Chains A and B, each alone.
Chain A
């Protein structure tokens, strides 16, 4: 599966996939400090959404997205 190129598309797709089946979804972040790369992945083992970035501003967006996902997980 290829990487998304825009955050907004990734976030929209991620929230849609997550709300469709929150029980099966897992959300993974991978941070490599030396390379300065942050990779995000959300999958339900059928569809896999990935986003890779080297932009500092995306950390803020990750904060927001993870908060949304976390809240959806515990309120299902």
Chain B
């Protein structure tokens, strides 16, 4: 990632993420990337092998990338439940062009055997 992005509020991030998924279906780049990683609030590179400072509240950094558009947000520990509920709703609503479950060969054999028996 190039420059440090301005972090958006959680709600705003989710709105934009939703728009990324929606727009990627009809125009522009096709892939949307979402990254999550731990974040302790510092904006400068850490020296090699240095751990997160003790006592710092660790939050979670969410980044999303669609083409050259990048957004990011910091999810605080107490916001995690709320954020994840909303995030789940978005992925369930947007990741729809996937195949419905088909029975694998093994299961077909099993059910076949079961009906025979």
Contacts and interface: CB of A to CB of B under 8 A. Distances in A.
A70 interface: yes
Contacts of A76: 38, 58
B101 A70 contact: no
Judged by DSSP, the binding face of B is mixed
A32 B36 CA distance: 18
Given A36-B99, A59-B95, A76-B58, A31 B31 contact: yes
Given A57-B101, A74-B80, A75-B77, A32 B30 contact: yes
Interface in B25-47: 25, 30-38
Category for how many chain B residues contact A: 35 or more
A19 interface: no
Interface in A37-70: 38, 53-60, 62-63, 66-67, 69-70
Given A32-B32, A53-B98, A74-B77, 18 more contacts: A23-B38, A26-B37, A27-B35, A31-B24, A31-B32, A32-B30, A33-B94, A33-B97, A36-B98, A54-B99, A56-B95, A57-B101, A60-B92, A63-B91, A67-B88, A70-B60, A70-B75, A71-B80
